[in-house]
């Protein structure tokens, strides 16, 4: 059986599991060796704005490519922003191999205004949610999305969907050249 090596720019098990899930779906007859490696985002621990969030994921993938060998590299960076319709949290995902890079984005999860205010004051979303919901390390579990959707969606499900969509250029490279 062929082995596909996938490196994830984080040790967070939610991110590693999301990557392993999508690569297993796309390559069902291949053994997936999916490993998490600490990779610097070079952005704030809680990125605010779409640009900073995207750059965080891109920086993690660039680090992996410079320091490690793999078939695929991927990263997920959760961020938040205030839009004209209100504050929301989301993630950018980046998947790369040695030929191409694809950037994707998750759905928006509306955030209560007081939560976003705390993010603007420098707190991380996971810590704010732990405080409000009396949880511990929610960012390595269901995340804010799990808490705010009564666990009907999770941080991992959000990453999985974004990663699945970001794989399109790898599935049809002739259309994305």
Tell me 9's DSSP state.
S
Please name which of 101, 98, 49, 112 lies closest in space to residue 70, comparing C-alpha atoms.
98
Check whether 35 is labelled as a binding-site residue: no
Q: Report the distance separating Cα 5 and Cα 105, nearest Å.
A: 23
Contacts of residue 77, Cβ cutoff 8 Å, sequence gap at least 6:
41, 43, 47, 53, 54, 56, 57, 60, 91, 92, 93
Q: 3 near 31, Cβ under 8 Å?
A: yes
Say how many CA atoms lie within 13 Å of 62 toward its Cβ. Answer: 9
Q: Name the binding residues for Mg(2+).
A: 69
Q: Name the binding residues.
A: 69
């Amino acid at each position: 059986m062929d082995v596909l090596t996938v490196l994830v720019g984080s040790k967070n098990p939610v991110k590693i599991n999301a990557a392993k899930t999508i690569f297993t779906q796309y390559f069902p007859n291949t053994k997936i060796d999916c490993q998490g490696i600490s990779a610097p985002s070079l952005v704030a621990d809680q990125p605010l704005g779409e640009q900073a969030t995207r750059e965080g994921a891109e920086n993690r993938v660039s680090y992996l490519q410079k320091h490690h060998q793999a078939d695929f590299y991927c990263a997920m960076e959760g961020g938040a922003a205030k839009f004209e319709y209100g504050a929301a949290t989301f993630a950018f995902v980046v998947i790369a191999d040695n030929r191409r890079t694809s950037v994707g984005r998750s759905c928006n999860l509306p955030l209560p205004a007081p939560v976003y205010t705390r993010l603007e004051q420098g707190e991380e979303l996971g810590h704010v949610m732990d405080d409000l919901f009396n949880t511990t390390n929610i960012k390595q579990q269901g995340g804010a999305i799990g808490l705010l959707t009564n666990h009907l969606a999770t941080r991992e499900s959000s990453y999985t969907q974004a990663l699945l969509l970001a794989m399109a250029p790898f599935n049809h490279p002739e259309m994305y050249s």
